[in-house]
Structure 1
């Protein structure tokens, strides 16, 4: 049975906007299970809603079944989880529970900052993400022994972080990209998406993109160090761009498409820049799960996806499934001793010192062997990325692949633990 939502989770003092909450704000989570298993989904075009993670919900149910956390409520469970995470920080279920718990604190901190400054809904989503990415800093610095509320501490910390980020952006506004710089540094797919989002007809989009390609080819800034503040092509360059467009027009556009003059091309490019600045991709909280929401217990409306969103989501699912297959095969191919190490560390969540005592080796040896095990999985994923996706294996790419492997290990073994616990309870 779900536990009642603890009154300690409410923010004090409440922002003025929360006292008269408009419909676009996310509804307050009413039970402890939701507090520790849902993430915010914020889109500039629709009301915010809560996205449930069924794996976290099952994990929270197991935690609440214990007498200690049952009596403590949401605030007590958060403190217990944080104490556990601070003893052994790792990107596992404990961290995800805490991030879910702090979603409201971060949202209202972002809203409080936006409330005192001219801000748009799109800026709110950006500022929310600027805060939530610093969650590990908050979890590390919070002192559980002092007895303060984690949500209140996080609210103030998020607010300071977001204000710092907003001030940084405002201070650098003098160096922000001009429309002409933005057009030079965007991609064809991004431009097409922004124009579709601005409801331009397909015929216009084809014309604008072809003109933009001519702009890309012929407008080369003389001073590469000032590309963020380009002033735009001169009259002679606009004429060359228009000539290039008219040469390409019969090859790429229908015969009925008219020729264009330099003034037409310049106007189209301004429309493209306007569409790029107005477009904001659909934002989902950084730790929000990407799972099918059908059958969820949360009675929240799901906004209608565009065709582009649906295709993008399908591609993400296919990519995640492919990574899962590659890493499962690599994990199955490890030697039994290496598999045992990973089972103890990620599956049973033992520390390196505990593992060392269990297998009769020193802690340093266990640490090095765990690093080698993870390295073999990273090599398998890197090889697949290079062969199937044609990705160049730079240092940055390898760091990203290491993070993907770490996240996959936590999720893979987390699911295994949940299944084992559910089987044992049955």
Structure 2
């Protein structure tokens, strides 16, 4: 159980960053007043932080209560901050700053909350500590895909709901939205994906396809549009869909600068003297435990990647590796045992190490988005040599 003052602060304070570092805690006066009134009106309420987390979660879920959402956003500031800090540390070349990652994670609070089930997980903060990093990774992956996705690929994969919401958010009239929607429907019906590389690199539609889209639109407009609409041209359809793609992209992947967290309607805040997030805390311990789990998972992945690469080597090469690492034979002894030349043994050993090292480096680049440097190659090479000795010591 926690003191009520601590509970009040926990659900009404927000992190402020300056120069991409934690600066101070800001308390939202409106949120503080709201939770204090709740406690006064029902003094029998528990002082358990998880009680209040579930309380505000149910209010948000059942009543779409905006204040409840803000209380939950305040409550999850710590795991959001630590996720942002861990994320920026994982990338050598960051497209985003710590504040950017923090803002992106903040903007995903509602999505994260939608998947929380109090019956399966009693602690919202424990759930969020795992869910926030996962959601942030998904968002970053989607943003990366959006950067290389053509307009036509984007229009092919966007849902009807997302398409209409994007146009509505862009401020278009209902008449224009109806025209855009019909043009998009005709486009999706005719622009069938037939590219072996998937949707990301779908090329611009050819003239013949545009003409087919225009013809279909002009046939359907009289029955599909409630407002009278003149015949459309190829240029107009292409212009509509190009603009629609811009609206959809802005809706699905808004610029980070637009994700600034609005603390409250009246923006009434005061500075609160709470512990610096850089100091040790329960959440820091949880992060440390997560780091240990991440490291264990990475080791398991490396093991699987290298074993798969090892099994793809030629049988004769695998036999040489086994003799060299498991039985400890020298190269001259292997030459005698297998009746092959010294250069062949040496070449196969070198080639096997190079193949495994290349596989390991490729996996590292994909998993951590890191650049290959001479120091990295040196470290990976030493780690690979150690792995081979340990692996063959287990008798594959």
TM-score by length of 2: 0.42
Greater C-alpha Rg: 2
TM-score by length of 1: 0.40
